[in-house]
Structure 1
């Protein structure tokens, strides 16, 4: 059932063609938001997410592009404005999580992860700022990760980027607080998602106090909360959604 708490609001969700990104887009649409669904190249998946947003009662549009290209983030923000005329909620979810030891990790591989997982969030924020400042309920939410706080083997580039998102969240909260823009990070861990490759090796040793994996919808619920009017006094925080695998 569609509610109106986010009615009239516009959200941009990156990496939304499946899994957590799709769940976030649908959750925001269910609550009345219009959603710009971004994907790198998966037009079919992005279109399905848009269909699900509309079936839930929201409006949706799709934009494709490689956010690791520094010219693309501004174009994706422009696509949201062209489709809906405003932007209130920026959800930076797009990421890659390859595994490699420090011995095998090339600088090019390091930079590829940083470009998508960290640099794109900076560039999206810069591009979105004029629109967010015009909103009376603006929110920036990045999707971090459990290993950015706990560490893990064979993922030095991914862990560094995810840890940096927590720092970027705090820095932006200070800078954008005077404009009443909230900035938060949601850090999922042990979430049941569909993967292209093998399960990350560190998952074999991870446990949590609930004894199960979470769902993309449970991560989306946290994002939805931070995007809504009831959380306007929460900023600069990292909200962990991991079943108690890490307690801070």
Structure 2
């Protein structure tokens, strides 16, 4: 799809876009012609680097640092996108926390931290974006799910619950927003090879799953699915959880 301009004239917000899957999504949507607001919670250097990549390829980008768990910061992010680009057509809810801890040792504060970013953050973003997405005429919301929400996993009760909630949120919004011409879908990555902070082990649940090919996916594989769902050819796809996992999970 590279080289086509199916998203020309569109404006997208991608949360958690400073690295890995979020970065790949921002670059893919820009390659389709969209102007991108690159969001990161705190790492401006990473977000600025993504914006520079987009601009170097001849596309438009602006950076906004803000925590999606804070409704006020989310509203400021949306206002920034609309004031800078004049409109908003696409929201990609990618920001999330992926912690691991046995449930018996998990505090309520640790539980809430994950919910606040992954699930409440998606709520705040949709609420703030909704008036502008309605004006688009072809608004699109893509939520990023997680493999463990479908398979379960040890030491991830908070993450599994939040990501399962994202799937439910997707299906509910698809019903609520269809009359406004807004599609809502979920892309579920699985076994994607991404750089991890030093001394951070690979998630434990990755070790019990295998892809059909035996290879891990790339962030670009997830981004390609998101880009398709944001384009005109996907307007009849709504309320779906679409898996990008190399066959590691074969289910609805």
Scaled to the shorter chain, the TM-score interval is: over 0.9
CA contact (8 A) 1:2 1:56 kept: no
Q: Report if aligned partners of 2:90, 2:230 keep a CA contact under 8 Å in 1.
A: yes
Matched residue, 1:126: 127
SS of structure 2 residue aligned to 1:103: helix
Normalising to structure 2: TM-score of the pair?
A: 0.96
Kindly provide the CA deviation profile for residues 99-125 of structure 1, in whole angstroms up to 9, marking residues without a partner as x.
011101110011110000000111110
Q: Secondary structure of 1:152's match?
A: coil
SS of aligned partner of 2:205: helix
Structure 1: tracts of 5 or more residues without a match = none
Are 1:229 and 2:208 an aligned pair?
A: no
1:212 aligns with 2:240: no
Aligned counterpart, 2:84: 83
Give the Å deviation of 1:245: 0.7
**Contact 2:170–2:184 under 8 Å retained in 1:** yes
Aligned residue among 205, 209, 232 for 1:202: 205
Aligned residue pairs: how many? 248
1:58 alignment counterpart: 59
TM-score by length of 1: 0.98
Give the aligned partner of residue 115 of structure 2.
114
When the two chains are superposed, the root-mean-square deviation of aligned CA atoms in Å is: 1.0
Q: CA deviation at 1:145?
A: 0.5
> Which stretch of the first structure deviates more once superposed, 61-70 or 165-174?
61-70
Contact persistence 2:145–2:187 (CA under 8 A): yes
Equivalent residues of 2:14, 2:26 under 8 A apart: yes
Distance 1:132 1:43 in 2: 26
The answer to whether the 8 A contact 1:29-1:57 is kept is: no
The residue aligned with 1:165 is 166
SS at match of 2:39: strand
The 2-side partners of 1:173 and 1:226 are apart by 13
State whether residues 16 and 37 of structure 1, in contact with CA within 8 Å, keep that contact through their aligned partners in structure 2.
yes
CA contact (8 A) 2:137 2:180 kept: no
Distance 1:202 1:190, change over 3 A: same
Give 2:73's aligned residue: 72
In 2: Cα distance, 1:18 partner to 1:165 partner: 21
Deviations 1:166-201 (A, max 9, x none): 000000000000111000000000001011222111
SS class of match (1:63) = strand
Aligned residues of 1:6 and 1:33 also touching (Cα < 8 A): yes
Deviation, structure 1 residue 230: 0.3
For 2:189, the equivalent position in structure 1 comes to: 188
Shift of 1:57: 2.8
